[in-house]
Structures are given as structure tokens and as C-alpha cells.
Amino acid sequence: MRRAVEMILLMLIAAAPSSAKEHVKDTYSVNCGALWPAVKDSVRNSGYYAIVFLDNTEMIATFAVGSGNTLRINSAVLDAKGDTCEMQVQPLYYGALFSNDSADFKKRLDASLARLQPSKPAAPAKPEGGVK
């Protein structure tokens, strides 16, 4: 099954138009280990994407959005940059050449990241009236 998916992806890449948009890069102030679960959550649970391929080791998510003549395939690739994480959304368009889903994916990822990150503990309450 995995081999068939890889072959389909290779055929789509070979057939991709040269007018496909550039990769979109965003840097997050968290490490890639914290961002990757949010990427997977966005792809799996948003209701907008069909998973094509997930690679936990390389932190690559390939997913499809749309259907029929408007099918678009994107990949989100994470790259560690010290304490931060750079995410590249790499579009592969088939049919709808002028659609760019990276902005919508980023919004969904930001929402997933906010939901999945543990909330910071509140600062301890200061005693009232000061020290006597």
C-alpha cells in the first residue's frame, strides 16, 4: 500500500505544473518535537484534509485537500532551528493552479498548537498588605 502511495505521489510530482507556488516558510517559537503533534492533529482532525503520508521520523505530513478537478496536495515539513522550528508548506497543485492552502493550514495548525500545548502555571499569588 505504501509503495502504491509513493508511486502516485511521484507521478503527481512529475506532472506538476511549473507555475506551482514557492514553498511557504514559517518559524515557530517551539521546538519541532512540540510542533509535530499539532501538525498531525491538524491533518487528522480538522475535517479538511485526507492523509496521504505521515513520517514521524522525518516529521513530514503529506495531505490532500479538495476533490476531483480541484484536488490539491500539500506537504508540511518541519526543520529544527535550535530552540525553534521552521515549517515549510510545500504545495503540489493538480487542477486548481491558483489555490494556496498554506494560510488555511497555518491557521488550523496554530489552533491545534494552542489547544495541545500545556497551559503555563499561574504566578503564585502575592500576599496582600506587604511585609510587616
pTM score: 0.70
Cα within 13 Å of Cα(53), Cβ side: 21
> Which ranges of the chain does DSSP label H, i.e. alpha helix?
2-15, 32-45, 102-116
* Alpha helical stretches, state H, 46-101: none
pLDDT in tens, 100-113: 688 889 999 999 99
Binning pLDDT at 50, 70 and 90, where does residue 80 land? Answer: very high
Residue 59, Cβ density class (10 Å: 0-12 exposed, 13-18 middle, ≥19 buried): buried
Domain ranges of the chain: 2-116
The CATH number of domain 2-116 is 3.30.465.10: no
CB 111 within 8 A of CB 48: no
